Amino acid sequence: MHDGGKATRVIGIRSAEQVLTKNMTTPDSAKDSLTSALNSNIIPNREYLLQGSVVDQYVEVLLHRLRGLCDNVDDGAETFYDHEMCFSLCMNSSGNPLVFPLRVRRALDAQDAPYQLRYIGQQELGDKNRPTIVRSSIDVACSASIVEFLQELGCRLDFEYTARGYMFRKGRMKITVSKICKCGGGNKPGENIELISQSYLVELSVLAPSGYDAIAEDMRVFAEQLKPLVHLEKIDYKRL
């Protein structure tokens, strides 16, 4: 879930000169190539997720363990400081309320990183045998005009927060350990920071094309290794 601007720094604009110079055929329209990508199921639009938390005084223990378990052993954990804004596009169509949630995330510690626009779909908890939550997710790197764009599009800012913490990588898995802060009034994150809890939020997630359920098992095994420090579980927050 924590796909901060930093976590996936994809610069949107790439020069096509190398790609195109030798290609004499007509380039496919972007729509066509997207459709073919959808059909061949290579777009990572499913997120496998486990969540948990750790009390502040034990976070060092957890970080130490993660440093040992994860791939970024040599350079240590990467820190991030992201600001997330959650928008929704609502309307009433013939009595049916329609809501389309969108999240914008940006790195506060790397101002030149692109913003990250994110759509997160309905959570699927599945039965007991499924080790993780699965939800559809579309991640799009975008320019800084996204906030104004969404506001003018008709979106309403539901809530916003900042997440500051550490990010680890283990194969395809991403582990974030972060402190969630409420943003003070106004649009200036960094001021009037208010912690909402004495714990760090711990999330283990993988973005994969649909059908890659084997990765969920890997995640379960990894989560097992963090016990009893953190219990990473499927949490249906809508039921809480």
Partner 1 sequence: MQQREEKQLESALDSIIQRVNDLKTSIAAMIYKVENEYETLNWPTFLDNFALLSGHLTSLSKILSHDKCPVLRNLTVLPLMLSPERDEQLAQLTEHRVTTFAHDLVPDYLRTKLEPLAENKMMQLEHKAATVAYENAQKQVAAYQKVVTHIWDIVSKAREEWDVESSARGNAQQHSSVSDTHLLVTAVGMGKGLKPVPNANGQPGQPAGSMMVAPQGRPGSASGQGQIPPATQTMTMNKAPSAIKTNIKSATQIHPYGR
Partner 2 sequence: MGVTVLQQFPIVEQRTGPSTIELLTKRIVALGATQQGQFLVDCETYSSVPQLGAQKTVHVLHNSEQPATVFSILETGSKTIPLITDGLFDLLMMKMSNFYQSKKQTKVESKGPRFEIGDFSVKLGSVAVSQNFKGILVEVEYRPCIVPAMCWDLIREFLQGFLGSSVSSTPPPYLQNKMQEVYTPNDTIQQYLEHFTVYRKSHFKM
Q: Which stretch binds partner 2 (CB under 8 A): 66-74, 122-130, 138-146, 214-222?
A: 138-146
Asked if 122 and 139 count as a contact pair (C-beta separation under 8 A), the reply is no
Q: What angle do CA 224, 211, 31 make, to 5 degrees?
A: 135
| Residue 75 touches which of partner 1, partner 2, none (Cβ within 5-8 Å per kind) | none
CA distance 141 to 10: 6
Report if residue 111 touches partner 2, rule: CB under 8 A: no
Sequence-ordered list of residues with C-beta below 8 angstroms from that of 208, at least 6 positions apart, any chain: 44, 46, 48, 172, 215
Amino acid identity for residue 152 in this structure = E
Q: How far is the CB of 106 from partner 2 (least distance, A)?
A: 14
What 3 state SS string does 116-145 have? EEEEEEEEECCCCCCCCEEEEEEEEEECCC
Find where tokens 């953190």 sit: 230
The residue from 88, 110, 172, 209 that contacts partner 1 (CB under 8 A) is 88
Cα 13 versus chain centre, distance: 21
Find the binder of partner 2 among 3, 84, 139, 203 (CB under 8 A).
139
152 interface partner picked from partner 1, partner 2, none, CB below 5 to 8 A per type: partner 2
Q: CB neighbours (10 Å) of residue 172? A: 15
Residue 34 contact partner, candidates partner 2, partner 1, none, CB within 5 to 8 A by sort of partner: partner 2
Asked whether 140 and 34 are in contact (CB, 8 A), the reply is: no
Question: Segment near partner 1 (CB under 8 A), from 11-19, 36-44, 109-117, 157-165?
Answer: 157-165
Per CB under 8 A, contacts with partner 1 among 174-213 are 180, 182-183, 185, 195-199, 201
Residue 211 binds which of partner 1, partner 2, none (CB < 5-8 A, kind-dependent): none
Among 16, 99, 153, 221, binds partner 1 (CB under 8 A): 99
Chain residues binding partner 2 by CB under 8 A are: 10, 12-17, 19-27, 29-31, 34, 38, 43, 45, 89, 91-93, 98, 100, 117, 119, 138-143, 145-146, 148-149, 152-154
